C-alpha cells in the first residue's frame, strides 16, 4: 500500500473577499510526481504555497508525515521549493549558490545530516592511515569533515543536473536553462523529502522546456522523493506526472493518471482544458448512444436509458472512410498542416468538429467519418451546462 506523505483536509484559503482555495481534500503519496494543473487564478500556486508554509490556510489542515504543519514556517518542513524566478544570488557563483543552504545551517543540524558517527569513523581511519597512534576526533576535525561533505554533496548535485565543470561560473553568465539547473541543484542538495516546483520551466524556450521535462522526471525517479509541480501547461503535466490534479476556481475537478484524465474526463471543463475535444449532446441507449441523428455502439455506462449525456470524441479518434459508408458526413471548412498530421475543421449538421488525419483534404471537400465504440466517452450533463 502506498504511503501518504502529504494530506490536505478540507483546506480553504481566502484573500480579502476572494475565495482562492475552496475546500480541497488531497492525498499525495511518497515518491510520486504529482502535478497541480489549471489556468491562472485556479488556486494551484496558493495550494503549493500552503504546503510549503509560505501561506497559512484559513481553515483545514496541512498534514505532512502524519503531523499537522499548519503553523510551522517553511524552514521547519522537510520541503524545498524551486520558484519560477529561481531566486538565485547574483553575487555568488554556482557552487556557492548550491552550497548556501547547507553552509548556513547550524552545527547540530549538519552533524545529524551527515551522520556524526560515520564522520568520526572516517576521521579516525584517516588519522590511523596517516600513522597517528590512539587518534582522537576534535571539533576542528569534524568541522573540516563537514566542509568536505558539503563540497561532495554540492558536486554530486551539480553532476545530477549536468553542470559539472561550471561550479565557478557567475550566475549572470549562465543561460536561463543553466540557472534553472542551479536552482534545482540548490534544492536537491538538501535531500528534502518533498520538492515543490512552481512553474519552473515557464521562462525557457520550447525545445529546452521539452528537454527539461524529461530530465525532471528522470531526476525524480533517481532521487526517489516526492515532486509536487505546478503548471498551466497540459503537455508538461501529461509528460511528467504520475497523477494530475486538474483545478478550476479553487476546486479539484479531477484527480487521476494522465491517461485517465485524457481518456475519461469527468466534465466539459476537463475535456476541453486537457487536449482538444469534440463535445456533442447525445442520448444514452444502453451500450449505444444517439447523436446527430445516428446511433453508435459504445461501452457500457452507468446511465439510465434515454438519459441525456455529453459525448466526447478526441480529434485523433475519428477514422476517415468512404463518404457512402459513413454515419457522419460533413464538409471541410479548414485544413492546416501540423507536421505529423492535418488538422481539419469539419461542419456536420451545423456543428464544428476538429478532426486529425494523415489524409489530405481541401476546403470545401466532403468527408466521411466513423468512430469506434471504445473511442467514444460519455459524461454526465452538468447542471450549469
Backbone angles phi, psi at 194, to 5 degrees: -135, 135
State residue 366's pLDDT score: 94
State residue 31's pLDDT score: 93
State residue 46's pLDDT score: 95
Chain centre to alpha carbon of residue 354: 27
State residue 282's pLDDT score: 95
State residue 317's pLDDT score: 94
State residue 290's pLDDT score: 95
This prediction's pTM: 0.86
pLDDT tens for the chain, 385 residues long, are 789 999 999 999 999 989 999 999 999 999 999 999 999 999 999 999 999 999 999 999 999 999 999 999 998 899 988 887 778 899 999 999 999 989 988 888 898 999 999 999 999 898 888 888 888 888 888 999 999 999 999 999 999 888 999 999 999 898 888 888 898 889 889 889 999 999 888 777 788 788 888 888 888 888 889 999 999 999 899 999 999 999 999 999 999 999 999 999 999 999 999 989 999 999 999 899 999 999 999 999 999 999 999 999 999 999 999 988 899 999 999 999 988 899 999 999 999 999 999 999 999 999 999 999 999 999 999 865 5
The cell for 173 is: 553568465
Amino acid at each position: 500500500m502506498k504511503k501518504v506523505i502529504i494530506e490536505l483536509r478540507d483546506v480553504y484559503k481566502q484573500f480579502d473577499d476572494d475565495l482562492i482555495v475552496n475546500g480541497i481534500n488531497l492525498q499525495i503519496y511518497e515518491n510520486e510526481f504529482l502535478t497541480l494543473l489549471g489556468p491562472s487564478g485556479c488556486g494551484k500556486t496558493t495550494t503549493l504555497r500552503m504546503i510549503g508554509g509560505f501561506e497559512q490556510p484559513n481553515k483545514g489542515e496541512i498534514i505532512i508525515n502524519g503531523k499537522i504543519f499548519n503553523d510551522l514556517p517553511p524552514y521547519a518542513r522537510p520541503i524545498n521549493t524551486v520558484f519560477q524566478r529561481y531566486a538565485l544570488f547574483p553575487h555568488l557563483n554556482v557552487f556557492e549558490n548550491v552550497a548556501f543552504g547547507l553552509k548556513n545551517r547550524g552545527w547540530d543540524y549538519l552533524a545529524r545530516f551527515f551522520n556524526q558517527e560515520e564522520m568520526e569513523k572516517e576521521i579516525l581511519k584517516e588519522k590511523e592511515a596517516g600513522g597517528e597512534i590512539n587518534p582522537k576526533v576534535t571539533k576542528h576535525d569534524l568541522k573540516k569533515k563537514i566542509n568536505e561533505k558539503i563540497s561532495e554533496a554540492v558536486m554530486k548535485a551539480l553532476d545530477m543536473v549536468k553542470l559539472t565543470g561550471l561550479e565557478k561560473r557567475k550566475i549572470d553568465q549562465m543561460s536561463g536553462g543553466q540557472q534553472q539547473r542551479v536552482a534545482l541543484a540548490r534544492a536537491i542538495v538538501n535531500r528534502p523529502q518533498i520538492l515543490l516546483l512552481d512553474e519552473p520551466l515557464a521562462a525557457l524556450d520550447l525545445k529546452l522546456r521539452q528537454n527539461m521535462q524529461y530530465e525532471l522526471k528522470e531526476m525524480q525517479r533517481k532521487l526517489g522523493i516526492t515532486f509536487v509541480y505546478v503548471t498551466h501547461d497540459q503537455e508538461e503535466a501529461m509528460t511528467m506526472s504520475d497523477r494530475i490534479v486538474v483545478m478550476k476556481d479553487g476546486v479539484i475537478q479531477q484527480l487521476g493518471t494522465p491517461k485517465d484524465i485524457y481518456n475519461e474526463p469527468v466534465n466539459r471543463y476537463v475535456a476541453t482544458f486537457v487536449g482538444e475535444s469534440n463535445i456533442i449532446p447525445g442520448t444514452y441507449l444502453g451500450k449505444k448512444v444517439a447523436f446527430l441523428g445516428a446511433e453508435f455502439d459504445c461501452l457500457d455506462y452507468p446511465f439510465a436509458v434515454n438519459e441525456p449525456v455529453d459525448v466526447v470524441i478526441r480529434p485523433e479518434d475519428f477514422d476517415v472512410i468512404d463518404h457512402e459508408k459513413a454515419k457522419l458526413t460533413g464538409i471541410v471548412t479548414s485544413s492546416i498542416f501540423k507536421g505529423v498530421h492535418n488538422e481539419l475543421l469539419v461542419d456536420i449538421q451545423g456543428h464544428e468538429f476538429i478532426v486529425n488525419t494523415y489524409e489530405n483534404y481541401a476546403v470545401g471537400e466532403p468527408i466521411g467519418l466513423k468512430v469506434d465504440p471504445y473511442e467514444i466517452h460519455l459524461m454526465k450533463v452538468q447542471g450549469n451546462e
